Amino acid sequence: MIFNSLTFLLFLVVLTALYWCLPRRPRLYTLFFASLLFYGFWRYEFIILLLISIGTDFLASRAIDATTNETRRRAFLILSITINLLLLFVFKYLIFFVDTLNGLGQALGYGPEPAFSVPLHIILPLGISFYTFQSISYTVDVYRRFIKPEPDFILFATYVIFFPQLVAGPILRAKEVIWQLADRPPFDPRVFADGLRRILSGLFLKCILADNIAPLVDRGFAADPATLGALDVLTLSFLFGFQIYFDFAGYSFIAIGIAGLLGIRFPDNFNYPYLSQSPREFWQRWHISLSSWIRDYLYLPLCGVNVHDRSTGGLVVEDGATGTNTRRNRSLWITWSLMGFWHGANWTFVAWGLWHAALITVQRASKRLLPQLKIPPVLAWMMTLPLIMLGWIPFRAETLDQAGAMLMRLLTPQAYVKPDVAHGLLPALLFNLQRDTHYVSALLLLLVVAAWALQRTLQPTLDKYLQARSLADFIFFATAAPLVYVFLRPIQQFIYFQF
């Protein structure tokens, strides 16, 4: 059951009606079992794995809170984190490490036969990286004494497996969500209407934009890199950049909107990231809940300074607040290596993480060496955007060799003068364009900028005048709803489901 399916929409209508009718305890059980049902539609046998992770952290957090002995508290914390990471390792990374060891052995001349093997076929559980991180954050926050452990198992479990954000986030802190699940907020028609608006916006981004860009990207990355011109590579980086943005932002919009239907508020997960004027700013705007999680549970602890206590702000902290430059940079590179590896069991994701580490390191160095340098905002944006987009090449590539070969085309003079293979290789399916997919990328960029500009100019008026808001909502629903209905089909799963 995925968001862009009629089955899910029917499920959501029934659940929302029950949610607003039932009293507290039946309502909690309904959310709990509905979330299990939502997850079980994919593979019901992995519900056991989900409950093992939940039960571990529920018991460990209570044990941490029950003692003042620091050694025992730390032991329970380590036990909880170890079990969660062990489950993540076995199901997500074991095959990768076995293949890597076998490849290394063959490279060292130990024979063509693999030295290690995995006895069973391992399937990656849906959303394991997300609910593992969310569950770990709860135990760590109890250990840090940011929160008290939740004594109600059903309430805690519902927080972890709450179906809107179970599979691909946002990754939320317990103090942001549990109280809203425990005591249902009063029905607010404005919050409900905003939830509907976000759901429709998310479906529009996913079904109409992301899913129609996907064939262009798939065919481009399936091609031999040697046949691509430099413009082809740059175009593909932009096309996939927009595909993953519309796809993942669409998921986040839907998740936040579903929570809104139930009166629950989630923080935003995206804030026009492709309008960033620096790599650091990009990570204040992209996948904000994950980058904030990485900040508070990895980067700042490595820097040896006090952590934040919120799932907003992204992977950015104030200058001068993170120790010496050497320690900050070392922590940055370790963090980004693990950040990349979190996304998938492939060295391509590590390369993507290191790409961003390099960009932020260069930005830090330039700021330190040229403190008086002021780059005009438009120029800073024009310099930042291509660097961010080119980072998507290793993220999308199947292998490091493919990513390296594609990026090398940008350093090959002949690749700039040969005819663009994209004219024949990438027949555009969007807006009936038959050639020149770089124009598709340019059009998508203009649409993003226009959406940002409209929001900046119209939002104050819409917030101030109810009639203007009602008219804008009517125009939006009347335009977007028929398009979503036409394109609503689960032909493409959300990209971040694989993580």
Q: Decide if 185 contacts 63 (C-beta within 8 A).
A: no
**pLDDT at position 44 over 90:** no
Cβ neighbours, 10 Å, residue 410? 17
**pLDDT at position 322 over 60:** no
**pLDDT at position 2 over 80:** no
Ramachandran quadrant class, 403 (left: phi over 0; alpha: psi -120 to 50; beta: rest) = alpha
Tally of helices (H runs) and strands (E runs) in the chain: 22, 0
Q: What is the pLDDT of residue 62?
A: 95
Residues 6+ apart with CB under 8 A from 386: 234, 237
Q: What is the pLDDT of residue 13?
A: 92
Q: What is the pLDDT of residue 26?
A: 93
CA distances for 72 relative to 61, 66, 135, 371, angstroms:
12, 10, 20, 47
Taking CA 320 as the corner, what is the angle to CA 314 and CA 324, rounded to the nearest 5 degrees? 105
For residue 458, the number of C-alpha atoms closer than 13 Å in the C-beta half-sphere is 13
Q: Could you say which DSSP state residue 150 is in?
A: P
Q: What is the mean pLDDT of residues 272-279?
A: 94
DSSP three-state, residue 344 = coil
Q: Which of 80-94, 213-227, 485-499 has the lowest mean pLDDT?
A: 485-499
CA–CA dist 119, 312 (Å, integer): 42
Q: With bands split at pLDDT 50, 70 and 90, how would you rate the model's confidence at 433?
A: very low
Each residue's pLDDT tens digit, 169-185: 788 899 999 999 998 88
Q: With bands split at pLDDT 50, 70 and 90, how would you rate the model's confidence at 498?
A: low
Q: With bands split at pLDDT 50, 70 and 90, how would you rate the model's confidence at 479?
A: confident
CA distances for 244 relative to 210, 277, 335, 368, angstroms:
7, 20, 22, 33
Q: What is the mean pLDDT of residues 467-475?
A: 70
Q: What is the pLDDT of residue 423?
A: 46
**pLDDT at position 449 over 90:** no
**pLDDT at position 345 over 50:** yes
DSSP three-state, residue 435 = coil
Cβ neighbours, 10 Å, residue 290? 26
Q: What is the mean pLDDT of residues 292-301?
A: 91
Each residue's pLDDT tens digit, 208-253: 889 888 888 988 899 899 888 888 899 899 999 999 999 999 999 9
CA–CA dist 219, 243 (Å, integer): 14
User: What residues are annotated to the active site?
Assistant: 343
Q: Which of 60-64, 151-155, 327-331, 488-492 has the lowest mean pLDDT?
A: 488-492
CA–CA dist 175, 162 (Å, integer): 14
CA distances for 22 relative to 17, 203, 260, 375, 393, angstroms:
9, 28, 17, 57, 49
CA–CA dist 191, 389 (Å, integer): 34
Each residue's pLDDT tens digit, 388-424: 999 999 999 999 999 999 999 999 888 777 544 444 4
What are the tokens at 252? 């986040």
Q: What is the pLDDT of residue 496?
A: 65
DSSP per-residue codes, 23-86: -HHHHHHHHHHHHHHHHHHHHGGGHHHHHHHHHHHHHHHHHHHH---HHHHHHHHHHHHHHHHH
Q: Decide if 50 contacts 39 (C-beta within 8 A).
A: yes
The proportion of the chain whose per-residue pLDDT surpasses 70, expressed as a percent, equals 87
pTM: 0.88
